[in-house]
Structure formats: C-alpha cells, structure tokens
Amino acid sequence: MSELSTIATIKCKQQVVRAVRFNVDGTYCLTCGADKKIKLWNPHRELLLKTYGGHANEVLDAAGSCDSSHIVSCSSDKSVILWDVTTGQPIRRYRGHASSVTCVKFNEESSLAVSGSVDNTVAFWDIVSRRQEPVQVLKDAKDTITSIQITDHEIMTCSVDCHVRLYDIRVGKMTSDYIGHIVTFGNFTHDGQCYVLSCNDGTVKLFDKDSGEMLNTFIGHECKDYMLENVVNETDSHIMSGSATGEVLVWDLISSKSTNKFVHTKNKPVISLSHHPTESYLLTACDDEIKLWGNKSAND
C-alpha cells in the first residue's frame, strides 16, 4: 500500500465533528457537528457547499443517498431527518425513536432509511411514501445500537450488548453473534464476506460472516471508551481505525500487522473515518477538523 499523506485539512467550525462520511461516489463528504448542523463539503477542493440546520441537538450520523439528492441524518434530539441536498430544507422528520439516534444508513436504492438508537431499536423508515411511522422496528438488541451496515439484502447491527446481528431479508432469519465486548462499530469488507468490528477492548476483529468465526485481531490502537470506527480500504487489503491517541492505524488485513500509522492531531481522538469507495482517499475527523489523506503522487 502506498503512503498516504495529508492532502487537505479543513476546519469545519462545528465545535466537534461527530462523523465524517463520503458520499456515494466519493466526490463530496458530510460532516456532522456538535453544533447541530451538517455540512456538505467538497474535500478535494476544500469547499463548503451547504449547511443543513434543523436538528435540535448534536448530529451523530448522516448518510447520502445513492443519487446524492437526499441526505438522511440522525441526532441526539431523537429524530431522523431527511434533507433535500439542493435546497437544504428538511423534507421529512421522523420522530419514532425514544432516545438519541446514533446511526443511520440508506439502503442500496435509498428507498429506506435505517436508523439505530440508544433505545435499543432499529427502525426502518420509508422514504418513498409519506409515512411517518417506521415500517419495521427491530427490538432484538438489549442495549444501544452503535452502528448499522446495509448490503443489498442484509442489515448488520452492532450493539453495546456485545452482539452483532445480521438480518437476512432473503432468508428471513436473524443471526446474532456474541462477541464478548461492546462493539462500537461494525463494517463489511467489500466482498461482503467478513465483518470488521471495532470492539472496546482495544481491538479490531475480523469475523467470517457465514460461520461466525474470528479470523483476525488487529491491535495497537487505543480505545479508551471512544466509539471508534474502522474502515476497509478500497481493495480490501488494509483495515484502518482511529485511535484515542490521535493516530490512524493501518493494518494489513491478512497478516494483521500494523503497516502504517499517521498522526492526525496528537492526543485528540480520531473517532470517525470514511474511506473513498473506489480510490485511495481517506477522511478522518478529529475535534473540529477533518483531513483528507491520499496518495500524493497520484494527486499530483
């Protein structure tokens, strides 16, 4: 893997950036701020494109739709808001959750939004119709939902109750894996065969999706009760995770050796990361700042 270096540093002026997310094609990114706003950027040109205000509390997560025409965001004001990208107006506001909503994702066609909350539920929101109630609510988890991932037919939820649950719509069954540690973030590899789970025992674990066996453990970073996220790079060759020490660690997926380490800001936790879907770009968020990392030579 080639060396990543800082391409751009953007001061978001959002107090703290809770999450940074690339859009579907990696051209833009969204930052969710503690200032109750979402900002849409072009990180490559360091351009602020739009600010979306309407949440009543910190925005915890956001996702862009597949056609980049909508944004769905969730906040600790217990609501999920669907935004129109161009006008910046909230189209719909879903208030079904009983507590802070921690994570939100679109499905592949962006016809459904799936949100997980501190109230232990996962709710499906129909974007297409004007329905205000959730289409379905999953109440299997016994503690906060920390992250959600969606493939074309599966929904993976990670929870503080140390379980990862995979809901397979095709088969109509739910597979729950007991991990033994609080799962702060879960991710799929691009081939869809493995989970990459950030656990709060200071490890990132790689699990086989079908058998539920652990394949690898990645250590070296510091967790310190932060809800650290992880990413898999575009070729599934490396895994990256933030750290409480302000570093971003890169591991080789197969050998589980730490191949690289770059510092975002010393001693400030790097919690949220987002990887470009097709190219070698990485976005990291730390404090009030996001950084775009990339291959300098390729950029030049």
Partner 1 sequence: MSNSDSDDENPILYGTPLDPIEEDEVPSKRKYQQPPDQYAVDNHGRRRFHGAFTGGFSAGYGNTVGTPEGWTPSTFKSSKSNKASISAQRPEDYMDEEDRGEFGIAPRHLQTRNDFTGQKRKHHRYHDGPIPGEPVLEQLLKTVHETAAVRMLRAMGWRPGQGTGERVTRDEKKKRKTQQRVYGCYMPPEMRQNDEIESDTNSSDSEFEYDTLFAPDDYEPYILQRKSDRFGLGYSGLSRHSVLGSLSGQYGEGASKSHLVMNDKGRKVSIRGQAFGVGAFEADDEDIYATEDMSHYDFAIGGAADKPKKPANKEKGANVLEGFAKASKPLPPVPSYPPPALPRDYRPVEAGTRRSRFEPSAAPQRDQGLGRHELTAEARGALLGEEPVPKLPEPPQIVQNVPEDPIAKITGRNVNFITTNDIKETKELDFIPLKCGNEIPKTFRPFMSVPDKQARYERYLNDKEAFLREQDGNMDAVREWERDRELVEFEQAAKLYKPLTGFMGDRFTHASEPDDGATNPLCAVAKSNNSYGLATPEQVEAARRGVYGVMTRKETPWRPESLVCKRFNIPDPNVRTETKSEEKPKVSYSIFSYMESSVHDKDSFAKEQQKFSGSKSLNLPKPTHNTLPQNKTSISDERSKVDNPTPSTSGDNTNFMKRMTVAELFMKESEKDLKSNENVNDTIEKFDKMDLYKAIFLSDSENEDEGTPTSTVNTNLKEPDDFIDKPKNLERNTSPPRGIFANIDFDELNSWRRNILTDKCEKDDSKKDSKSNKEVKDTEANVEADVYGPKIPENLQKRLEGESGQDGDFRPIFRRKSDIAKDVVEINTSSSDSWVDIKEVTAKKQKKKKKKHKSKHKKGKHKKKDK
* Chain positions contacting partner 1, by CB under 8 A: 107-109, 111-112, 124, 126, 128, 135-136, 142-143, 152-153, 161-163, 167-182, 200-201, 207, 211-214
Nearest alpha-carbon partner for 271 in 23, 24, 34 = 34
CB of 272 to partner 1, least distance (A): 22
CB of 126 to partner 1, least distance (A): 6
* Identity of the residue, 17 or 182, whose beta carbon is nearer to partner 1 in the bound complex: 182
CB of 286 to partner 1, least distance (A): 24
Q: Which two tokens stand for residue 78?
A: 């217990």
* Identity of the residue, 179 or 271, whose beta carbon is nearer to partner 1 in the bound complex: 179
Q: What is the DSSP annotation of 148-185? A: EEE-SSEEEEEETTSEEEEEETTTTEEEEEE-SS-EEE
CB of 191 to partner 1, least distance (A): 20
* Identity of the residue, 124 or 226, whose beta carbon is nearer to partner 1 in the bound complex: 124
In this structure, are residues 137 and 122 in contact, taking their beta carbons and an 8 Å threshold? yes
* Identity of the residue, 178 or 257, whose beta carbon is nearer to partner 1 in the bound complex: 178
Nearest alpha-carbon partner for 29 in 67, 73, 62, 66 = 62
Nearest alpha-carbon partner for 70 in 60, 79, 58, 80 = 80
CB of 250 to partner 1, least distance (A): 23
* Identity of the residue, 87 or 217, whose beta carbon is nearer to partner 1 in the bound complex: 217
How far apart, in whole angstroms, are the C-alpha atoms of residue 259 and residue 110? 36
For residues 252-285, one letter each, b for 16 or more C-beta atoms within 10 angstroms of the residue's C-beta and e for the rest, the string is: bbeebeeebebebbeeebbbbbbbbeeebbbbbb
* Identity of the residue, 88 or 212, whose beta carbon is nearer to partner 1 in the bound complex: 212
CB of 170 to partner 1, least distance (A): 6
CB of 115 to partner 1, least distance (A): 14
Q: Which two tokens stand for residue 203?
A: 């490890």
How far apart, in whole angstroms, are the C-alpha atoms of residue 221 and residue 202? 6
* Identity of the residue, 3 or 133, whose beta carbon is nearer to partner 1 in the bound complex: 133
